[in-house]
Amino acid sequence: RTSEMKSWVEANGLSADSYEIYSADVSSIDSIVAAGEACMQHQGVPDVVIANAGISVGVDTAERADLDTMARVFATNTVGAA
């Protein structure tokens, strides 16, 4: 959702040279590491990191398949890529 973040930053009067956005999949350690490495390569160690993530889907807990989906949503939102 990089485009939404850029829209918010620009709507709040920040110039393009005052921020950088690195996107990552919180359920993938490789994705998180790649975003961190890209940030440090371009800017050094960041002053602030906003790790904002979460997913949501409609589930019917009476259905076994939905219980698996609910477990994936819970794991992503609470543990991430652990």
Cα dist from 7 to 4, 26, 47, whole Å = 5, 22, 21
pLDDT score at 29 = 85
Q: Average pLDDT by consecutive 10-residue portion of the chain (82 residues)?
A: 82 81 85 92 86 72 73 80 58
User: Which stretches within 1-82 are classed as H helix?
Assistant: 2-11, 29-43, 64-78
Q: What is the pLDDT of residue 55?
A: 72
Q: What is the CA radius of gyration of the chain?
A: 16
- Which SS3 state, helix, strand or coil, does residue 64 take? helix
Residue 82 pLDDT: 54
pTM: 0.59
pLDDT at 17: 78
Q: Pick from 4, 6, 3: which is nearest to 20 by CA? A: 6
C-alpha span between 81 and 1 (Å, rounded): 18
